[in-house]
Amino acid sequence: MALIVKKFGGSSVATPEKMFNIVNRVLAGKKEDDNIVLVVSAMGDTTDELVSLAKQVTSHPYGREMDRLLSTGEQMSIALMAMAFMEKGHPAVSMTGEQAGIKSSNAYGKGRITDIDPSRVFEALKGGNIVIVAGFQGITDDGDITTLGRGGSDTTAVALAGAMKADVCEIFTDVEGVYSTDPRISPNAVKLAEITYGEMLEMARLGAGVMQPRAVEMGSRYGVPIHVRSTFSDNEGTIIREAYTMSANEHVITGVADDTNVAKVSLAGVENKPGVAHTIFQTLADGNVDVDMIVQSVRTINDALTDIVFTITRDDVVLAKDILENLKKTIRMDDFVINEHMAKVSIVGAGMLGQPGVAAKMFGILSAEGINIEIISTSEISISCLIAEDRVKEAVHAIHDKLVLDGRG
């Protein structure tokens, strides 16, 4: 008897016809005693449409109300999916995040799952139902809805699979698996048969939107194998697991990721003394602004002052502006500038550990394309460069073809 969690993304459930397609395939593949839990996203571009509706009302991020609004997208799709199963003769029941026992932190728009009590899901399965759970949402201890960040249905699915000790979590999407780079950007992208949690987490964190980073983290923590595959074909996709099982999949560079949800914040003429950086970044953290790359420059002319440059996601620009305006009243700063037209291009691969020269090759490729690098950051298994947004596609093509494909021979 298998327990399987299957997650279907927005494009997979975009229309009633697509929903029936899923119902037919799930029922055709289901063995008599299989227990099936579906996690679904909002239909098509519903979440984006809800965001733009809110923007027509206000530019202020009213977190609590925003999350209530955004969570409605998934509530539509779970109810429709449950009706579609019943229409095809199989009992089904839909559950909101709260009903499925998903507790979340109170960080609106980027809630974290803090606990899951799936007893109601188990009960419904026992009653012979297929259970359809709303992705992307949880409930705080105070009873407020929080959403889990864009792409958060992935995290709902993997976390639920972990809490229920499912045999596998299948992520059904509009591509056939995880590729060496976004297949919509590069026609030369190669489908990976498998990838480790560590490398997938790095790819996702650096912008490979096929999986939400937290979902990969959950998979790793609970040891849930994740199978990323196509909603529209039966082909094997990509297995995300602890270690490679085929040495053929070990390469110096596994993939290239890009992220255009990036804004660069430059603080000029900040006082150069202990405690200032702490105040700035603690205040941003208290306001729930995630900071990524950070550079503090050395001034030779006036070393009483320094410049600090860092990156944030574009979603946080309004929030960051408010926070920095306030900070200007308490710490010394000439001014701050936010540039929203930046992007980050990154290479990822556990194989680059102990391989000198990989960074130099990446910078050489960008320089040959005439692309300026503004900030560089590295981890053990990745190198990232901040560049102008309008050059990002060229950068991905060049780096992918010259570093990833050449490395595969």
Summarize as ranges the residues that interact with ligand ASP (CB under 6 A).
9-10, 41-42, 47, 73, 135-136, 150-154
Nearer to ligand ADP, 41 or 220 (CB): 41
Q: How near is the Cβ of 369 to ligand ASP at its closest, in Å?
A: 32
- Alpha-carbon dihedral sign for residues 194, 198, 203, 207: positive
* DSSP of 61-110: --HHHHHHHHHHHHHHHHHHHHHHHHHTT--EEEE-TTTTTEEE-S-TTS
Q: How near is the Cβ of 195 to ligand ADP at its closest, in Å?
A: 9
Q: Does 151 bind Mg ion (CB under 5 A)?
A: yes
The size of the interface with Mg ion (CB under 5 A), counted in residues, is 2
Segments in 331-387 forming alpha helices (H): 358-368
Q: Does 10 bind ligand ADP (CB under 6 A)?
A: yes
The size of the interface with ligand ADP (CB under 6 A), counted in residues, is 19
111 binds, among ligand ADP, Mg ion, ligand ASP, none (CB under 5 to 8 A by kind): none
287 binds, among ligand ADP, Mg ion, ligand ASP, none (CB under 5 to 8 A by kind): none
Q: How near is the Cβ of 190 to ligand ADP at its closest, in Å?
A: 10
Cβ burial 204-217 (10 Å sphere, 16+ → b, else e): bbbbbbbbbbbbbb
Q: How near is the Cβ of 171 to Mg ion at its closest, in Å?
A: 8
Q: How near is the Cβ of 177 to ligand ADP at its closest, in Å?
A: 7
136 binds, among ligand ASP, Mg ion, ligand ADP, none (CB under 5 to 8 A by kind): ligand ASP
- The residue assigned the tokens 């609004």 is 69
| CB of 387 closer than 8 Å to CB of 331 | no
Tokens at 364, concatenated:
């050489």
Relative to beta strand 130-134, strand 92-95 is: parallel
| CB of 38 closer than 8 Å to CB of 132 | yes
Q: How near is the Cβ of 166 to ligand ADP at its closest, in Å?
A: 19
Nearer to ligand ASP, 37 or 324 (CB): 37
47 binds, among ligand ADP, Mg ion, ligand ASP, none (CB under 5 to 8 A by kind): ligand ASP
Sole window of 61-69, 206-214, 289-297, 344-352 interacting with ligand ADP (rule: CB under 6 A): 206-214
Q: How near is the Cβ of 294 to Mg ion at its closest, in Å?
A: 28
DSSP annotation of 301: S
How many angstroms from the chain centroid is the CA of residue 365? 27
> What is the contact mask toward ligand ADP in residues 171 to 190, using x (rule: CB under 6 A)?
--xxx--xx-xxxx------
Q: Does 109 bind ligand ADP (CB under 6 A)?
A: no
137 binds, among ligand ASP, ligand ADP, Mg ion, none (CB under 5 to 8 A by kind): none
Cβ burial 364-376 (10 Å sphere, 16+ → b, else e): ebbeeeebeebbe
CA 368-373-374 angle, 5° bins? 165
175 binds, among ligand ASP, Mg ion, ligand ADP, none (CB under 5 to 8 A by kind): ligand ADP
Rounded Cα gap, residues 385 and 199, in angstroms: 18
CA 144-145-150 angle, 5° bins? 150
| CB of 390 closer than 8 Å to CB of 294 | no
Q: How near is the Cβ of 281 to ligand ASP at its closest, in Å?
A: 27
Contact residues toward ligand ADP (CB under 6 A) are: 9-12, 41, 151, 173-175, 178-179, 181-184, 208-210, 255
